[in-house]
Structure 1
């Protein structure tokens, strides 16, 4: 008799995802929702046409498993990288305030996947980072082991 595989039987591995179209980006956006990062942890390398943010990402993909097993929810440091960046603009982000902590609400794209457009990282508190890109190409990669979320709570906000 065969039995269906269960999620719990799978080997947990760090995320390493890419997005080249709008559908892929929806997955990444959902995974980085409620990620937090200091303003000092974002960088734009104009010559390389790359923008990156080192996020403290809430592990949405592990939430149900943590609740079922009655253990604390987790965060993990992840690197969100946007390629083909031609221009960066922001609103509500004071780069001179080195203590500023930002929180991601969503990552969206306006434009054709094969043509220039804008990637927008929407932040809590009416902040946003707009990246003009030649073509849509993002990656999200976990770079540390998961750790217990300092608040030990699932992020909760009105949609």
Structure 2
């Protein structure tokens, strides 16, 4: 098994990290902001899109660490930090430029939840931790027409998987 380690130091790098983490599932309790260290960190269960192309339905998830350094502030929307067991599906990570090189990193989750990080600059790392397991579930993305019928979160019968899936 090959583990993946990516560093992001600019917006293009962050897009690569975002694509690798699309459909990762994370418990709210597995995300934290450490203001004294200017760091945001999370442990997620990443869907391995690279090995999902075969016809044998051998899908897998990997335990993956994600961290952002040089974080000045963190805000969230649609999350109840006290609900530590709530599972979210990570849809994308984006960067909204401010006065160069600062800006906002935004993590978009299912259920219209977001985490916004005010950063001095982009400095992120994604690292597989070596723990992997098989899953029968492959994340599905509804067509635009289907998404319109499911409401603003885009969730319907195929909402985010359980954290252990």
- What TM-score, normalized to structure 2? 0.82
Q: Distance in 2 between matches of 1:119 and 1:54?
A: 17
Segments of structure 2 that go 5 or more residues without pairing to the other structure are 144-165
Q: CA deviation at 1:98?
A: 2.3
Question: Does the 8 A contact of 1:21 with 1:113 survive in 2?
Answer: no
Q: Map of 1:52-67 to 2, 5 A cutoff?
A: 52-64=41-53, 67=54
1:153 and 2:128 aligned? no
1:8 alignment partner in structure 2:
none
Question: Does the 8 A contact of 1:76 with 1:142 survive in 2?
Answer: yes
1:19 alignment partner in structure 2:
8
**1:109-138, CA deviations, whole angstroms, 9 ceiling, x for partnerless residues?**
011695210000000111000000001111
Q: Which runs of 4+ in 1 moved over 6 A?
A: none
1:84 and 2:70 aligned? yes
CA 63–112 in structure 1, closer or farther in 2 if over 3 Å, else same = farther
**RMSD over aligned Cα atoms:** 1.6
CA 16–100 in structure 1, closer or farther in 2 if over 3 Å, else same = same
Q: Distance in 2 between matches of 1:63 and 1:156?
A: 12
Decide which structure has the larger Cα Rg and report it. Answer: 1
Report the count of equivalent residues. 143
Q: Map of 1:7-156 to 2, 5 A cutoff?
A: 12-64=1-53, 67-68=54-55, 70-111=56-97, 114-149=100-135, 152-156=136-140
- What TM-score, normalized to structure 1? 0.85
Q: Distance in 2 between matches of 1:114 and 1:47?
A: 23
- Give SS of 1:34's match: coil
Segments of structure 1 that go 5 or more residues without pairing to the other structure are 1-11
